[in-house]
């Protein structure tokens, strides 16, 4: 018998010992970061960067496969007891000696997770991790000249790149409201002092928004540079237009943070994505009834919110709890009780 | 059924007002749910796992009587925790709001021969929706007992104290059979129904795993302590079964708890539904440890009003609920465990004997309300 077959036998036996739980349920008690466990990480430190941004140092579990500079990672963290998932760019270099990774988070107004991470997260906290992903990365072959065009927290994936790979000729144009809002400012200035980076800061409170035409004056050879741009959609849209007008679009790489803005309304178009049906729903009829009327096979039970026999994944949009008025927005892993939830705007129910 | 309807003094408006007041209590807890509650259930789960692990470890040496005693006691408590404070409550969706897939009603499996999926249907859906409605809520007497003076007596009922005792000892199997609606399904052609067969198979699988673990694998692992470990797990299962059976009997069976006729729930309003839960449940009074070991089902009344609120909140909710009972002049049935257990058993024995038909029929609440 091969060793893998042997190991899987042994594991089967262990499962018989621990049924109905799994061996991992017990191992998690002592070693949540071990190899083979669900991927998790432990927050080891929180370093303030600016008034509303902080860098979180995370020790990832043994299953972490490592990242490429510029990628992001999804983390799941419990805020007020509720697990919430968000994606953040990795800001640590890929060859960090101690094996830790960092994300740098800017607290956005009303952002549950970002505010929690920046202001309340404590070292020692266990978080859930996904493997890193994203194709906003540097190429294998080093380009001769590089331009980084960033704004606000769009600097975070680029910082991961700057810390990871040195180029001979790097220019950065970064926009932030005021000097003190520039994340990593002193580190950037150190790089400038070491002649490893040429930096232009645009302070939008005083200078106004960056006019893309000014690039000719700030970085005269911008069109020759391999460019990575990250920031608000407005900036990226104008950049894409500008680069394409000059016929050099293939040199521009962009990363968009898509804030999912859900407008909670009263009723909306409901999609039952597994069945492929779309119907209009008002804000007062339970989604269970809406689905059944549309001929979708809906699981149900008590029809009054007590048995949890009707829970179904909410894939997109928002619903309102008809008992409390509470709004639930779609997020990975969010299940709703269809018998007491009504559409609060367009939504997608996995049935 | 009692001759006099204990809710007859309430007007329709009062009942709806009561419903609104209960809704407000519920909303307040929901708004306040948070980090502390999540930490609570996580702590209970890891305590249970540690206790089970340690107890099973000690039982490896159960050939020595003190180890046997210690291990058996620990395992009994661990099994009770698994079924009561953890399993029952998670399967009610009480912790779904945490969005932790590991502590969720859709993924949880418990140390019990009834698969959680089936139990959720018969318990959460049937029992909690039709609480104490004769003919609809089979939890009343589990379909094997006579639970009300109004029900017709047959000589077979003479045996019900014995059934009840046997059911207590093998409660988890009783529940599995009950969740399968075995009595009904073993008849004639029903046995062949593919849906029933699939469910029966699932139960079979679960039983095999549970039995293999408790009565084969762990004893084998104990080597020379094979027999003592076997006896220990059997004892722990017995203790857990008798304990949960007792607690559950106290929930709806003691004297003073009302049962309802099928027609009385037609067109029931939210207020009336709440009222039925209030009159159809009974509590157990006692210490914090007592509440914990019953999985907070000692707060059965509160649990039936709000089955999906986190169990650790029932104690604080109980204070407010009790105040409402007083305000609306309703009887809050509660008492210490021995008293409630005795009361429930007393009823089982009493109803095993024939009785005169009660002279006054239960008033039909729905009709009365129309008149009021
Ligand atoms: S059908 Fe029972 S909770 Fe929705």
How many angstroms separate the CA of residue A205 from the nearest CA in chain B? 39
CA of A305, closest atom in ligand 1: 3
Alpha helix segments (H runs only) across B253-371:
270-279, 288-293, 300-305, 314-327, 337-351, 365-371
ipTM of the complex: 0.90
Residue B88 distance to chain A (closest CA, Å): 12
**Contact check, Cβ <8 Å, A309/B125:** yes
Q: What DSSP element (H or E) covers B162?
A: helix B160-169
Taking an 8 Å cut-off on Cβ atoms, the answer to whether B30 and A306 are in contact is no
Which of A78, A308, A350 would you mutate first to test chain B, the one with the most B CBs within 10 A? A308
User: Given the CA of residue A337, which atom of ligand 1 is nearest to it?
Assistant: 4
Contacts of A25 in chain B (CB under 8 A): 49, 102
CA of A301 vs chain B CAs: smallest distance (Å): 6
Q: How is residue A42 written in tokens?
A: 């432990």
Identify the band that residue A262 occupies on the pLDDT scale cut at 50, 70 and 90. low
Q: Please give the share of chain B, as a percent, with pLDDT higher than 70.
A: 95
Q: Tell whether the model's pLDDT for residue A277 goes beyond 50.
A: yes
Is the alpha carbon torsion for B56, B61, B65, B70 positive or negative?
A: negative
**A308: closest chain B residue by CA:** B93
Give the best residue of B55, B94, B112, B125 to mutate against chain A (max A CB count within 10 A).
Answer: B125
How confident is the model at residue B367, as a pLDDT? 40
The answer on pLDDT for A247 being more than 60 is: yes
C-alpha dist (Å) from residue B45 to B40, B42, B49, B190, B249: 9, 5, 6, 40, 25
Query: Using CA atoms, how far apart are residues A97 and A279, in angstroms rounded to an integer?
Result: 55
Helical axes B160-169 vs B337-351, angle rounded to 10°: 140
In the reported structure, the alpha carbon of residue B235 is separated from the centroid of ligand 1 by a whole-number distance in angstroms of 37
Quick one: average pLDDT of B124-133? 93
pLDDT at A315: 94
- Assess whether the C-beta atom of A307 lies below 6 angstroms from ligand 1: yes
pLDDT for position A295? 87
Strand partners, A281: A268
**Sign, CA torsion A187/A193/A196/A198:** positive
- List pLDDT tens digits, range B317-350: 999 999 999 999 999 999 999 999 999 999 999 9
Report residue A31: phi and psi, to 5°. Answer: -140, 75
pLDDT digits (tens, 9 = 90+) for B240-286: 999 999 999 999 999 899 989 888 888 899 999 999 999 999 999 99
Give me the helices (H) in B33-123, please: 35-59, 65-81, 89-91, 116-119
Which two tokens mark A94? Answer: 């890929």
Residue A206 in this model has a pLDDT that exceeds 80 = yes
Lowest mean pLDDT among B85-89, B179-183, B184-188: B184-188
Mean pLDDT score, B206-226 = 97
pLDDT on residue B364: 46
Question: Quick one: which atom of ligand 1 is closest to the CA of A311?
Answer: 4
* B11-41 as b/e: b if 16+ CB within 10 A: eeebbbebbebbbebbeebbeebeeebbebb
pLDDT score of B372 more than 70 = no
pLDDT reported for residue A265 = 80
Give B358's pLDDT tier (boundaries 50, 70, 90): low
d(CA B352, CA B145): 8
- pLDDT, tens digit (0-9, with 9 covering 90-100), for B300-318: 999 999 999 999 999 999 9
> pLDDT tens-digit profile of A172-203?
999 999 999 999 999 999 999 999 999 999 99
What local confidence, expressed as pLDDT, does residue A80 receive?
A: 96
Low-confidence winner among A115-119, A262-266, B275-279 (lowest mean pLDDT): A262-266
Of A20, A81, A308, the CB nearest to B109: A20
Closest CA–CA distance from residue B81 to any residue of chain A (Å): 14
User: Which stretches within chain A are classed as H helix?
Assistant: 3-18, 23-30, 112-115, 155-164, 185-193, 204-207, 215-218, 233-245, 287-293
**CA of residue B98 relative to chain centroid, distance:** 24
* Model confidence pLDDT, tens digit, residues B135-179: 888 887 777 788 888 888 999 999 999 999 999 999 999 999 999
A/B interface, count of CB pairs below 8 Å: 101
Cis before A289 (ω within 30): no
Q: A108 phi and psi, to 5 degrees? A: -100, 150
In terms of CA atoms, which chain A residue is nearest residue B104? A335
Q: Would you say residue B370 has pLDDT above 60? A: no
Interchain pair A29, B38: CB under 8 A: no
The encoded tokens of residue B341 equal: 């257990």
Q: Is B230 left (phi over 0), alpha (psi -120 to 50) or beta?
A: alpha
Contact B366, B264 (CB under 8 A): yes
pLDDT above 80 (res B188): no
Contact between chains at B209 and A82 (C-beta distance less than 8 A)? no
Q: Which residues 302-341 in chain B show a CB within 8 A of chain A?
A: 307-308
Q: What distance in Å separates the CA atoms of residue A270 and residue A279, rounded to the nearest whole number? A: 5
Q: List beta partners, residue A75.
A: A86, A129
Alpha carbon distance B59, B65 (integer Å): 10
Return the exposure string of A23-38: e unless at least 16 CB atoms fall within 10 Å of the residue's CB, then b: bbebebeeeebeeeee
Which atom of ligand 1 is found nearest the CA of B129? 2
CB of A299 shorter than 6 A to ligand 1: no
Q: Which among A343, A266, A309, A323 has a CA at the least distance from the CA of B29?
A: A323
Residue A16 with chain B: CB contacts under 8 Å = 209, 212-213, 217
Interface of A with B (CB under 8 A): 13, 16-21, 25-26, 29, 78, 80-84, 301-302, 304-309, 311, 323-324, 326, 331, 333-335
pLDDT higher than threshold 90 for residue A324: no
CB-based contact A84 B128, cutoff 8 Å: no
More confident residue, B355 or B203: B203
Does A235 sit in the ligand 1 pocket, CB within 6 Å? no
Q: What is the mean pLDDT of residues A83-107?
A: 95
- pTM for the full predicted model: 0.92
- Mean pLDDT, chain B, rounded, equals 92
- Mean pLDDT check: name the lowest of A85-99, A231-245, A258-272, B115-129: A258-272
Q: Name the residue among A59, A46, A47, A40 with its Cα closest to residue A97.
A: A59
Q: Which residues of A touch B131 (CB under 8 A)?
A: none
Pairwise pLDDT comparison (B263 vs A145), residue with the higher score: A145
- What was the pLDDT predicted at A259? 58
Given A16, A305, A326, which is nearest B213 (Cβ)?
Answer: A16
pLDDT of amino acid B359 = 55
CB contact under 8 A, A301 and B49: no
Residue B33 has pLDDT above 50, yes or no: yes
Percent of chain A past pLDDT 90, that is, above it, reads: 84
Class of residue A210 by CB neighbours under 10 A (exposed 0-12, middle 13-18, buried 19+): buried
Question: What pLDDT score was predicted for residue A251?
Answer: 96
- pLDDT for A261 equals 59
The pLDDT assigned to A260 comes to 55
């Amino acid at each position: 018998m091969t060793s893998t077959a042997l190991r899987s036998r042994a594991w089967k036996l262990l499962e018989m010992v621990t049924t109905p739980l799994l061996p991992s349920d017990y191992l998690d008690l002592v070693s949540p970061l071990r190899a083979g466990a669900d991927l998790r990480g432990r927050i080891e430190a929180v370093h303030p960067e600016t008034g509303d941004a902080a860098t979180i140092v995370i020790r990832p579990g043994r299953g972490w496969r490592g990242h490429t500079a510029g990628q992001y990672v999804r983390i799941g963290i419990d805020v007020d007891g509720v697990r919430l998932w968000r994606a953040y760019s990795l800001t640590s270099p890929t060859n960090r000696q101690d094996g830790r990774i960092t994300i740098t988070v800017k607290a956005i107004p009303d952002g549950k997770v970002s505010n929690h991470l920046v202001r309340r997260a404590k070292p020692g906290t266990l978080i859930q991790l996904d493997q890193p992903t994203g194709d906003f990365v540097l190429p294998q072959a080093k380009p001769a000249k590089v331009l980084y065009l960033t704004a606000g927290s769009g600097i975070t994936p680029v910082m991961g790149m700057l810390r990871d790979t040195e180029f001979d000729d790097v220019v950065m144009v970064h926009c932030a409201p005021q000097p003190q809002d520039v994340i990593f400012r002193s580190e950037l200035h150190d790089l400038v002092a070491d002649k490893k980076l040429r930096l232009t800061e645009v302070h939008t409170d005083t200078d106004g928004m960056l006019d893309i035409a000014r690039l000719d004056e700030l970085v005269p050879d911008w069109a020759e540079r391999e460019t990575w741009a990250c920031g608000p959609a407005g900036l990226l849209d104008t950049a894409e237009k500008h680069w394409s007008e000059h016929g050099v679009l293939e040199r521009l790489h962009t990363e968009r943070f898509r804030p999912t803005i859900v407008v909670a309304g009263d009723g909306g178009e409901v999609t039952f994505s597994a069945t492929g049906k779309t119907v209009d729903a008002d804000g007062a009829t339970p989604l269970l009834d809406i689905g059944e009327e549309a001929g979708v096979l809906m699981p149900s039970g008590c029809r009054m919110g007590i048995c949890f026999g009707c829970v179904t994944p909410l894939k997109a949009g928002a619903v309102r709890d008809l008992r409390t008025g509470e709004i639930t927005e779609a997020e990975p892993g969010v299940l709703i009780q269809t018998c007491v939830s009504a559409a609060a705007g367009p939504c997608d129910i996995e049935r | 059924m009692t001759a006099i309807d204990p809710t007859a003094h309430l007007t329709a408006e009062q009942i709806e007002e009561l419903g609104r007041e209960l809704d407000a209590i519920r909303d307040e807890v929901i708004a306040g749910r948070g980090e502390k509650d999540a930490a609570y259930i996580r702590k209970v789960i890891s305590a249970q796992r540690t206790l089970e692990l340690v107890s099973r470890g000690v039982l490896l040496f159960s050939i020595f009587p003190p180890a046997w005693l210690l291990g058996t006691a620990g395992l009994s408590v661990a099994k009770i925790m698994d079924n009561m404070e953890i399993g029952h409550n998670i399967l009610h969706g009480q912790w779904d709001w945490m969005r932790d897939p590991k502590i969720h009603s859709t993924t949880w499996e418990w140390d019990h021969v009834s698969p959680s999926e089936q139990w959720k249907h018969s318990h959460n859906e049937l029992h909690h929706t039709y609480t104490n409605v004769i003919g609809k809520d089979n939890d009343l007497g589990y379909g094997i007992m006579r639970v009300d003076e109004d029900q017709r007596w047959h000589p077979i009922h003479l045996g019900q104290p014995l059934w009840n005792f046997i059911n207590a000892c093998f409660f988890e199997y009783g529940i599995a059979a009950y969740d399968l609606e075995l009595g009904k399904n073993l008849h004639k052609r029903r046995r062949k129904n593919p849906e029933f067969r699939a469910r029966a198979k699932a139960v079979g699988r679960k039983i095999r795993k549970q039995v293999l673990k408790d009565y084969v694998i762990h004893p084998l692992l104990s080597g020379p302590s094979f027999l003592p470990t076997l006896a220990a797990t059997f004892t722990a299962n017995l203790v857990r079964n008798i304990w949960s059976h007792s607690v559950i009997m106290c929930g709806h069976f003691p004297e003073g708890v009302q049962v309802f006729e099928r027609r009385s729930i037609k067109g029931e309003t939210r207020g009336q539904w709440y009222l039925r839960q209030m009159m159809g449940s009974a509590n157990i009074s006692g210490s914090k440890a007592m509440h914990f070991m019953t999985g907070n089902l000692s707060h059965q009344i509160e649990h039936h009003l709000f089955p999906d609120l986190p169990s650790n909140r029932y104690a604080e909710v109980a204070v407010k609920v009790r105040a409402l009972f007083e305000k609306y002049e309703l009887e809050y049935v509660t008492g210490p465990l021995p008293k409630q257990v005795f009361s429930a058993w007393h009823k089982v024995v009493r109803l095993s004997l024939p009785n005169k038909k009660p002279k006054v029929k239960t008033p039909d609440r729905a009709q009365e309300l129309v008149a009021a």
